[in-house]
Amino acid sequence: MDITTVWEDLAWEQGGKIVYLILDGLGGLPDPEQGGTELQVAHTPHLDQLAQSSSCGLLEMVGPGITPGSGPGHLTLFGYDPLQYRIGRGVLAALGIGFDLKPGDIAARVNFATLDSAGKVCDRRAGRIATDDNQQICQRIREQVNLAVDYYFETVSEHRAVLVLRGTGLRGEIQDTDPQQTGRSPLPPKAQHPEAEQTAAHVGAFLEQVQRILNHEESANTILLRGFEQYQPLPSLVDRFKLRGICLADYPMYRGVSRLIGMDVPPPPGGLQGRFEGLKHHYGADYDFYFLHVKQSDSRGEDSDFEAKVAAIEAFDQLLPIALSLNPEVLVVASDHSTPATMGQHSWHPVPVLIHSPYVRADPVKHFDEFACLQGSLGQRPGLDLMGLALAHAGRLKKYGA
Amino acid sequence: MDITTVWEDLAWEQGGKIVYLILDGLGGLPDPEQGGTELQVAHTPHLDQLAQSSSCGLLEMVGPGITPGSGPGHLTLFGYDPLQYRIGRGVLAALGIGFDLKPGDIAARVNFATLDSAGKVCDRRAGRIATDDNQQICQRIREQVNLAVDYYFETVSEHRAVLVLRGTGLRGEIQDTDPQQTGRSPLPPKAQHPEAEQTAAHVGAFLEQVQRILNHEESANTILLRGFEQYQPLPSLVDRFKLRGICLADYPMYRGVSRLIGMDVPPPPGGLQGRFEGLKHHYGADYDFYFLHVKQSDSRGEDSDFEAKVAAIEAFDQLLPIALSLNPEVLVVASDHSTPATMGQHSWHPVPVLIHSPYVRADPVKHFDEFACLQGSLGQRPGLDLMGLALAHAGRLKKYGA
């Protein structure tokens, strides 16, 4: 039996508040030249002090050897088994711009891109065109393209947009048209399931009309589609765990995941300090669960910029006292996956985690990093465990059986 | 596949004896004023010496964040997944007084309680009436109440009793009548399943007649029912693991769980020393599995009495040499859940465990407590693992495959 359904049965409206501070891509690998991992090298006096009165450990997200994308990583943190709850990037991107998806809608991510004279992709991001230009092109497309089903074509930012198809009988099993590499031609929007043929035909008609409109553009002279998915809303945090949640994140992806599980997602506050102040501002009677997201630890890891990732961690540490001052019953510091700067990409390595509450078995871990946390009282365990532990420490789970 | 069914397939009659010494609610939390957890503070020379030649670790009972009741906690220790084998308090209470439940019987826990003049519950325990008074009232009820099905109404102790209904077509899905709080009226015995309507009617008729009998009582002027459950015996320890078991416990709940899985449950020996001597007395050819239960570690934890819990642990430690003198092939010291004195209730925190046998990978753990055991060779693992490890160390599991 799935343990998360036991948490659902035991959750009640009583108990304390839970604050999740999620540093995206936090886990790292030792860089011999730097003398340790990003977390080991970073100067983090507040995190370290917090660790000393917390339960520490390591979370293996999704499963051993699995490198999680941002969606599955966050779903795991929120207590949604990503092997059971699958969501595509298209759905996430649409949710992230606040698009009001309806059950059954098909969403896909769009990149404006550049084709060379031979029809091969030479820039998958069309020189990262300005968001303004993106908006103008989107408007032209909306004015000129006609389909047999309703569609929505919306700017995200820079070269990114979202396509949504709405109608009866649509299916999400459509192959990406994005070849993922330059020097190749875009792929056809092939149906990957017999019942998706009609949807593939709509996408084909869309692409044909769009191509005529973009042919004379200089950089954004084509679009690439990927991550087709049919939207089915997930059971909410309230339904499952009796948690009224709020998201403090500025990136569409994380706002999208949060909206998908029924959290409130207020307009993005400016910068990391703005988000910490937003946490303080919204902290109160209306919510039980607060999710604050830090993107820079992941972005700088993906840039292979060890020092910049260290700096991002240190910037977080400087703001941590704002969260501590709220004195929530449960404060969690964790991550959705590792992004070691030495690799420049997401990885499967477990991520450090700490839980702070009056009911923790505070352990001897004195520095919050990948190695010290091995000695922590949470041990090394599946990422999905975190939500159950957070609920328990907040007094939000009744006793099981008599 | 459920690993416990693999143990079932591999278990044979050969092998050594297994002794389980279970300190109820043993796990604790650090109390800053006391300088550690109950186990860290307790002076336990025999346990510590035993730990040095044992495999140590921590067990997470039922699942992460789950606070187990006594039933699920013990079932887990015995190798019965409590998410699969569910038993209610009513069934446990009936088994605990030695009542001979038949398959299909419906059992419920009973509290004698006090109603005020407005019909609201003002004391859920009727001032903890004397067991003698309880017995007299029960007898009057048995003499005067007539139902269309057979019923049994038996004293447990103080304000507690048990109701059993026996007949065809009965169902256990009946709502508690106990409102769980004072200042509220008792609830009706509502059917929570269409097929339980008839059973609910029998319970309603019973309550109506009982109320007429109790109306003139001073304190025990009503009864509250909870934990309705239909009795289905579980497969026994012999059936599953080829273990002939004996229980040395004095509390009904633990005697009930033991009976439920087919253990012999001799009359309760007096006191903890009596149980240890009972262990010695019964140790021999007739049994393979010995379960000795210590209640005081849990009771004193629930009292929030740190020092008394420490004393209960120390009293156990003093008697431990009696069990050691039997030199069983496998000696286990463990617990069904944590009951930190700082919380005064059951909790989800993992419990320390040790396995002593000639075949352990003895580890460097020198003191048996929640933190030292983190370094043990058993690691931190699900509580359900314990029975498989005990069987293996006793030589009671054949090789898997060729």
Give the model confidence (pLDDT) of A41-75 as tens digits.
999 999 999 999 999 999 999 999 999 998 999 99
The pLDDT of residue B92 is above 90: no
The partner residue sitting opposite B349, judged by closest CB among A361, A364, A390, is A361
Q: Using CA atoms, how far apart are residues B197 and B191, in angstroms rounded to an integer? A: 5
From B14's Cα to the closest Cα of chain A, the distance in A is 32
pLDDT score recorded for residue B100? 84
Q: Choosing among B24, B38, B61, B66, which should be mutated to test the A contact, i.e. which has the most A CBs within 10 A?
A: B66
Q: Percent of chain A having pLDDT more than 90?
A: 89
Phi, psi torsion values for A36, nearest 5 degrees: 155, -170
CB contact under 8 A, A388 and B65: yes
> Is pLDDT at A84 greater than 80 in this prediction?
yes
Pairing of strands A18-23, A150-157: unpaired
Helices B70-77 and B252-260, packing angle to 10 deg? 50
pLDDT at residue A252, rounded to an integer = 81
DSSP state of A118: T
The whole-angstrom distance between A71's CA and the closest CA on chain B is 23
Tell me the pLDDT band of A92, cut-offs 50, 70 and 90: confident
Residue B251: pLDDT band with limits 50, 70, 90: confident
- Looking at the predicted structure, is the pLDDT value of residue A275 above 90? yes
In this model, does residue A1 exceed pLDDT 80? no
pLDDT of A97 > 90? The answer is: no
Residues of A in contact with B86 (CB under 8 A): 401
Minimum-distance CB partner of B71 among A362, A379, A402? A402
Report how far residue B210's alpha carbon sits from residue B79's, in angstroms, rounded to the nearest whole number: 40
Cβ neighbours of B69 in A, within 8 Å = 399-402
CA–CA separation, B270 and B276 (whole Å)? 10
B374 CB neighbours in chain A (<8 A) are 363, 375, 377, 379
Query: Is A400 within 8 Å of B66 when comparing Cβ atoms?
Result: yes
Span B190-210, average pLDDT: 97
The SS3 of residue A15 is coil
Measured in angstroms, the CA of B65 and the nearest CA of chain A are apart by 4
Instruction: Name chain B contacts of A360, Cβ cutoff 8 Å.
Output: 29
Is the Cβ pair B371, A363 closer than 8 Å?
yes
Q: With 80 as the cut, is the pLDDT of residue B268 above it?
A: no
- Are the C-beta atoms of residues B54 and B362 closer than 8 Å to each other? yes
- Which pLDDT score, from 0 to 100, does residue B256 have? 86
As a three-state string, the secondary structure of chain B is CCHHHHHHHHECCCCCCEEEEEECCEECCCECCCCECHHHHCCCHHHHHHHHCCEEEEEECCCCCCCECHHHHHHHHCCCCCCCCCCCHHHHHHHHCCCCCCCCCEEEEEEEEEECCCCCEEECCCCCCCHHHHHHHHHHHHHHCCCCCEEEEEEEECCEEEEEEECCCCCCCECCCCCCCCCCCCCCCCECCHHHHHHHHHHHHHHHHHHHHHCCCCCCCEEEEEEEEECCCCCCHHHHHCCCEEEECCCHHHHHHHHHCCCECCCCCCHHHHHHHHHHHHCCCCCCEEEEEECHHHHHHHCCCHHHHHHHHHHHHHHHHHHHHCCCCEEEEECCCECCCCCCCCECCCEEEEEECCCCCCCCCCCCCCCHHHHCCCEEEECCHHHHHHHHHCCCECCCCC
E-only strand ranges, A232-378 = 245-248, 289-294, 330-334, 351-356
In the predicted model, is pLDDT for residue A347 greater than 90?
A: yes
In A199-280 the beta strands, taken as DSSP E runs, fall at 222-230, 245-248
A60 - beta bridge partners? A382
pLDDT at B1 over 80: no
CB contact under 8 A, B343 and A364: no
Check pLDDT > 80 for residue B269.
no
Q: For an interface test with A, which of B2, B75, B92, B348 has the most A Cβ atoms less than 10 Å from its Cβ?
A: B348
Nearest 5°: the CA angle B298, A15, B127 is 50
Residue B286 to chain A, least CA–CA distance (Å): 31
Q: Print burial letters for B312-326: b (CB count within 10 Å at least 16), e (below 16).
A: bbbbbbebbeebeee
DSSP-assigned beta bridge partners for residue A4:
none
Residue B252 has pLDDT above 90, yes or no: no
Kind plus residue range of the DSSP H or E element containing A135? helix A131-144
Nearest CB partner across the interface for A6, out of B63, B370, B379: B63
Min CA distance, B89 vs chain A (Å)? 6
Burial A28-43 (b: 16+ CB within 10 A, else e): bbbbeebebbbbbbbe
Predicted confidence at residue B285, as pLDDT, reads: 83
Among the residue ranges A297-306, A386-395, B38-47, B226-235, the one predicted with the least confidence is B226-235
Residue whose structure tokens are 């092998």: B15
Residue B253: pLDDT band with limits 50, 70, 90: confident
Contact B72 A400 (CB under 8 A): yes
ipTM above 0.90, yes or no: no
Q: What is the mean pLDDT of chain A?
A: 95
Chain A contact residues (CB < 8 Å to B): 1, 3, 6-7, 10, 359-364, 375, 377, 379, 381, 385, 387-393, 397-402
Please enumerate residues of B whose Cβ is less than 8 A from a Cβ of A: 29-30, 37, 58, 62-72, 82-84, 86-89, 92, 227, 340, 343, 346-349, 370-371, 374, 379-380
Compute the average pLDDT of residues B174-192: 95
User: Span B105-119, mean pLDDT?
Assistant: 96
- Contact yes or no for A400 and B343 at CB 8 A: no
Cβ partners under 8 Å of residue A120, min gap 6: A182, A183, A184, A185
Average pLDDT over residues A124-140: 95
* Interface probe, candidates B29, B61, B156, B349, chain A, greatest A C-beta count within 10 A: B349
- Name the closest residue on chain A to residue B67, using Cα atoms: A399
The answer to whether residue B283 scores a pLDDT higher than 90 is yes
Instruction: Tell me what pLDDT residue B88 has.
Output: 78
Q: What is the mean pLDDT of residues B361-376?
A: 95
All residues of chain B having their beta carbon less than 8 Å from the beta carbon of residue A392 are 64-67, 347-348
Which whole number is the average pLDDT over A124-150? 96
Residue B87: pLDDT band (50, 70, 90) is: confident
Interface test mutation site (partner B, options A361, A386, A387, A389, max chain B beta carbons within 10 A): A361
Q: With both helix axes pointing from N to C terminus, report the angle between B89-96 and B252-260 in degrees, rounded to the nearest 10.
A: 100
User: What is the per-residue pLDDT for B270?
Assistant: 84
The arithmetic mean of pLDDT across residues B218-231, rounded, is 94
All residues of chain B having their beta carbon less than 8 Å from the beta carbon of residue A362 are: 30
Chains A, B: CB pairs < 8 Å: 87
* Contact of A158 with A128, CB cutoff 8 Å: yes
Sign of the torsion formed by the C-alpha atoms of A339, A340, A341 and A343 = negative
Task: Give chain A positions within 8 Å (CB) of B340.
Answer: 359
How many CB atoms lie under 10 A from the CB of residue A184?
A: 12
Q: Which residue of A has its CA nearest to B89?
A: A402
How long is chain A?
402
For residue A256, name the pLDDT band (cuts at 50, 70, 90).
confident
Residue A402: pLDDT band with limits 50, 70, 90: confident
The predicted model gives B276-290 an average pLDDT of 95
Using CA coordinates, name the residue in chain A closest to B344. Answer: A359
Which of B63, B92, B340 is opposite residue A402, by nearest beta carbon? Answer: B92
Long-range Cβ contact pairs of B395-398 (< 8 A, separation 24 or more): B395/B14, B395/B15, B395/B16, B395/B329, B395/B359, B396/B11, B396/B12, B396/B14, B396/B15, B396/B16, B396/B18, B396/B241, B396/B242, B396/B243, B396/B288, B397/B7, B397/B10, B397/B11, B397/B12, B397/B15, B398/B10, B398/B11, B398/B12
Q: Do B66 and A381 touch (CB under 8 A)?
A: no
Q: Which chain B residue shows the shortest CA-CA distance from A398? A: B67
Q: Residues B319-330: pLDDT tens digits? A: 999 999 999 999
Q: Which tops the pLDDT comparison, B385 or A218? A: B385
- Give the DSSP letter of residue A24: T
Question: What's the confidence (pLDDT) of residue B185?
Answer: 96
Give residue A267's pLDDT.
Answer: 87
Query: What average pLDDT does the structure give for chain B?
Result: 95
Residue B61 CA to residue B44 CA, distance in Å, equals 24
- Torsion B365-B367-B369-B371 (CA) sign: negative
At B392, the pLDDT band (50, 70, 90 cuts) reads very high
Closest CB to A401 among B64, B82, B343: B82
Q: Indicate the SS3 state at residue A165.
A: strand
Q: A375: nearest CA in chain B?
A: B374
Res B339: pLDDT: 98
- Which pLDDT does position B371 carry in this prediction? 95
Residue B400 vs residues A379, B3, B78, B392: alpha-carbon distances, Å: 29, 12, 21, 12
Quick check: A76 pLDDT over 90? yes
Instruction: Residue B183: name the closest of B117, B122, B119 by CA.
Output: B122
Give B-chain residues touching A387 at CB under 8 angstroms: 65
**DSSP annotation of A95:** H
CA–CA distance from B84 to each of A11, A104, B72, B80, B336 (Å)? Answer: 20, 36, 10, 8, 17
A167-170: list long-range contacts, CB under 8 Å, 24+ apart: A167/A202, A168/A104, A169/A195, A169/A198, A169/A199, A170/A104, A170/A105, A170/A106, A170/A198, A170/A199, A170/A202, A170/A230
Contacts of B88 in chain A (CB under 8 A): 402
Report the C-alpha gap between B312 and B297 in whole angstroms: 6
